[in-house]
Structure 1
Amino acid sequence: MTHGEDLSFHHHAVSVPDIEAAATWYADLLGFGIESRFALPGDIQAMFLVRGPLRIELFEVPSPQPMADDRRDPRRDLQTLGHKHICFRSEDYDRIRSRLKLAGIAIILEVGSGKAQGFFFNDIAGNVIEILR
C-alpha cells in the first residue's frame, strides 16, 4: 500500500549525560556540527547536530538514569522492545572504520559482507551506531 503524503527523515534523538562532551565527540569522530541549542521545561538542555541532510538531537536531563548494559550491545538489545540504533551508510566505510579504531573506539559487532557489510560501535554515552557500506 502506498500513501501519497510527503514524508522525509528529520532527526534521530539520543539522551546523553554531558551534552557538550557528546557534541564534541560527534564533531570529532563523525563530522557533525552544532545547528542549534535550546532548553526545554524541567532544566533539559537540547541541541541539534547536523551533517548535510543528517540531524541528531541531543538531550541532557538532570539526574539521568543509566543505560542498561544490554542496550550497549546490538545483539542483546534486540531482546528489549524499542528503538535499536542509528545507521549511517558511507562510501568511505573503510576509512571511517580505520579512523574510529585509531581513536580507540571498539567495534562491537561486524555483520554482512561485500556491499552489505556493516559494523556497530557506541557513542560517548553508550548509544549504538552502525556504519553500513
Structure 2
Amino acid sequence: MTDFRFHHGGVSVPSLAEAIEWYDRVLGFKVEREFRIAAAKSRTAMLRKGPLRFEIFEVENADPLPADRSHPARDLATHGNKHIAFCVEDLDAFLLEMTERRADVAMVVREPFGTGCFIRDCAGNLIEFVEEDAT
C-alpha cells in the first residue's frame, strides 16, 4: 500500500480575519500563506504550528454552521466529518490555559477509555484535545 501522512485539517468560518486572530491567540497557529480559491469563491489561509497545519476558508454566501455541529454529542448523530484532534501532555494544564485564553470549552471527557476535551473555535467548529495514555 502507498504510504501517506497527515497534512492538514480544514474548517469553514464566516470571517477569515477573526479566525486567523482566534487560532493565533488561543492555539498559537501562525499564517503560513493566504490565497483565493476561485472555484470555491473562498478567501483561504493555511495556518501552521510546528508540523501541524490548519486550513481556514471564508466562502462567499456560505450557510452558517448548524447548531448541532457545535455540540460534541449531538454532532455524532449526523453523518460526516466530525472534528480534528490533537494530543496534549496534561489535560488539566491545557484546560487552565484555554480558560486564560478565553476559549469556549464545549465538553470535558474523563472516561476509562480516555481523557480529553472539545473546544469551539470562533465559528463554533469543534476541536478535540486528548491526553494520551503514557502506557
Common fold: TM-score over 0.5: yes
Runs of 4+ residues over 4 Å off in structure 1:
none
Residue identity matched to 1:34: V
Deviations 1:31-84 (CA, angstroms, capped at 9, x unpaired): 101001110115410110001111100000112201111000010001101011
Take 1:75 and 1:113, find their aligned partners in 2: how far apart are those partners? 15
TM-score scaled to structure 1, two decimals? 0.90
Match of 1:87 among 82, 85, 88: 85
The answer to whether the Cα contact below 8 Å between 2:26 and 2:103 also exists between their aligned partners in 1 is no
Q: Partner of 2:75 in structure 1?
A: 77
Q: CA deviation at 1:92?
A: 4.2
* Larger strand share, 1 or 2: 2
- Indicate the RMSD between aligned Cα atoms, in angstroms: 1.7
Q: Partner of 2:100 in structure 1?
A: 102
Matched residues, percent identical? 38
Query: Structure 2: where are the runs of 5+ without partners?
Result: none
How many correspondences in the alignment?
130
Residue 32 (structure 2) pairs with residue 35 (structure 1): yes
Residue 62 (structure 2) pairs with residue 64 (structure 1): yes
TM-score scaled to structure 2, two decimals? 0.88
> Which one is further off, 102-111 or 84-93?
102-111
Q: Partner of 1:18 in structure 2?
A: 15
Q: CA deviation at 1:116?
A: 2.6
Residue 7 (structure 2) pairs with residue 7 (structure 1): no
